[in-house]
Amino acid sequence: MSSINRKVVLASPINGIPRADNFRLVESPRPEPGDGEILVRHIYLSLDPYQRPAIAGIHISAKKALEQEEAPSAETVGQVIASRHPDFAVGDYVRHFGGWQEYSLSDGQQTYKVDPALAPLSTYLGILGMPGLTAFASMIKLADVQPGQSVLVSSASGPVGSMVGQIAMQKGATAYGVAGSDDKCRFVVDELGFAQCVNYKAAGYPGTLQAGLPDGVDIYHDNVGGQMLLDALTVLRNYGTVILCGLISQYNEANKGQNFNLGPAIIKRAVLKGLVVYDYEDRRQEFFDLVAPWVRDGRIKYREDRAVGIENTGAHFEKLMSGQNFGKALVVLGDE
C-alpha cells in the first residue's frame, strides 16, 4: 500500500463548465490516524452535480467557496486500513465524505458502515445512496405517487432520474423521460422500462414531448430547471405536482435563471414542492429496505459511468457537468 496520498485540488477559478485543467494533482504523505480516528483507503469516489455550486460556495452543503489548493468535498466508499476507533475495525467498508483524494481520516462522525453482501459497493454512492434516496423522497414522500398516475422526469438516464422513474413504476405508475441523446433515451425505454423518452436536443422539441403526451402527466420531477421546467409545465395536467429537485442547466452559469417566468405554473394551478435530500437522512434505512431487494432481484436496473484513477477526476467532472456522462459518475480509486 502506498505511503503517498494523491489528491486533486482546485488550480484556477472556474468559469462556466469546469475543465480538467481547473484542477491539478498533488501528493502528500499518507496520514496516520490519531486516537479515536480511522484511516480509510478510498475505493469509489462520487461525482455529483451539486459539487459544482458547492465549489462556488453557493450550495446548501458549502459554507464558503473552495480556495485554490483545496480539494473538493465528495462522498466516498472505502475500506478501513487502520483504526484507533472502538466502533471500526480494519477491513470494514465505510461511506463518508472522504473528498477528492485516495485516503482520508475520519473521527467516526457521519461515517457509516456499508455491507457488500447486501448491495454492490458502488451502489451505496448511486442508486442506493444519496441519488436513490433523493428519488425515494420525491416519489414516496413528496409526490406520494399512486398506481395509475403518470410521472415525467428530466435527466432520465442519470442516477436520480432513472430511480424516479423506476420507483414510480414499482408503485404502479407510468414513467416518461426526457434525456439528452437518442442513446440515453434507448436505455431509458429498453433497459429501464419507461413508456417513452424524448431527446430534448433533437429537432422539434418541445413539440415532440407534447405530441407524445396528449393527456399530460400528473407529476413532473425536475432535475434541470430553466427552459426544461417551462417546457415540462406545458404537459402538466391541471393541479399536477412538480418536484423541484435540481437546476443543472444553471450550475455553470453566472447569471442564474434571470428573467425566469413561472407564469405557466399559475396557469396549471401547479403544486410546486422543493426537495432537499438532507431532510430525509433519517429515512435512509427505510429507503434501503424498500429498494435494495428490487436491485438484488434485478427489477431495478442501473448504469455507471466510471473513470479510473484519481488523476482523471477533473476530466470526469468536466464530462458530468457538460452532460457527457451516461449513468452515475464515479471514479474508481482502488480494488474492492
Which residues sit at the interface with ligand NAP, rule CB under 6 A?
48-50, 131, 134, 155, 157-161, 179-181, 184, 223-224, 245-249, 275-277, 320, 323, 325
Cβ nearer to ligand NAP, comparing 33 with 161: 161
Cβ nearer to ligand NAP, comparing 38 with 54: 54
Closest Cα partner for 104 from 64, 139, 126, 76? Answer: 76
Residue 195 to residue 252: CA distance in whole angstroms = 31
Cβ nearer to ligand NAP, comparing 38 with 55: 55
Kindly state the smallest distance separating residue 170's Cβ from ligand NAP, in Å. Answer: 18
Kindly state the smallest distance separating residue 87's Cβ from ligand NAP, in Å. Answer: 28
Cβ nearer to ligand NAP, comparing 38 with 242: 242
Kindly give, in sequence order, each residue whose CB lies less than 8 Å from that of residue 207, ignoring residues fewer than 6 positions away: none
Kindly state the smallest distance separating residue 110's Cβ from ligand NAP, in Å. Answer: 16
In angstroms, how far is CA 202 from the centroid of its own chain?
25
Cβ nearer to ligand NAP, comparing 78 with 180: 180
List the grid coordinates of 311: 488523476
List the grid coordinates of 332: 474508481
Kindly state the smallest distance separating residue 89's Cβ from ligand NAP, in Å. Answer: 31
Q: Which residues of 295-306 are buried (b: 16+ CB within 10 A; e: fewer)?
A: beeeebebbbbe
Kindly give, in sequence order, each residue whose CB lies less than 8 Å from that of residue 79, ignoring residues fewer than 6 positions away: 40, 41, 43, 91, 92, 93, 94
Across the chain, which distance is largest between two alpha carbons, in Å?
Answer: 63
CB atoms inside a 10 Å sphere around CB 162: 33
Kindly state the smallest distance separating residue 17's Cβ from ligand NAP, in Å. Answer: 8
Cβ nearer to ligand NAP, comparing 28 with 227: 227
Kindly state the smallest distance separating residue 275's Cβ from ligand NAP, in Å. Answer: 5
Cβ nearer to ligand NAP, comparing 25 with 265: 265
Kindly state the smallest distance separating residue 48's Cβ from ligand NAP, in Å. Answer: 5
Kindly state the smallest distance separating residue 251's Cβ from ligand NAP, in Å. Answer: 7
Per the listing, cell 442519470 goes with 158
Cβ nearer to ligand NAP, comparing 239 with 278: 278
Kindly state the smallest distance separating residue 243's Cβ from ligand NAP, in Å. Answer: 9
List the grid coordinates of 333: 480509486
Cβ nearer to ligand NAP, comparing 239 with 260: 260
Length of the chain: 336
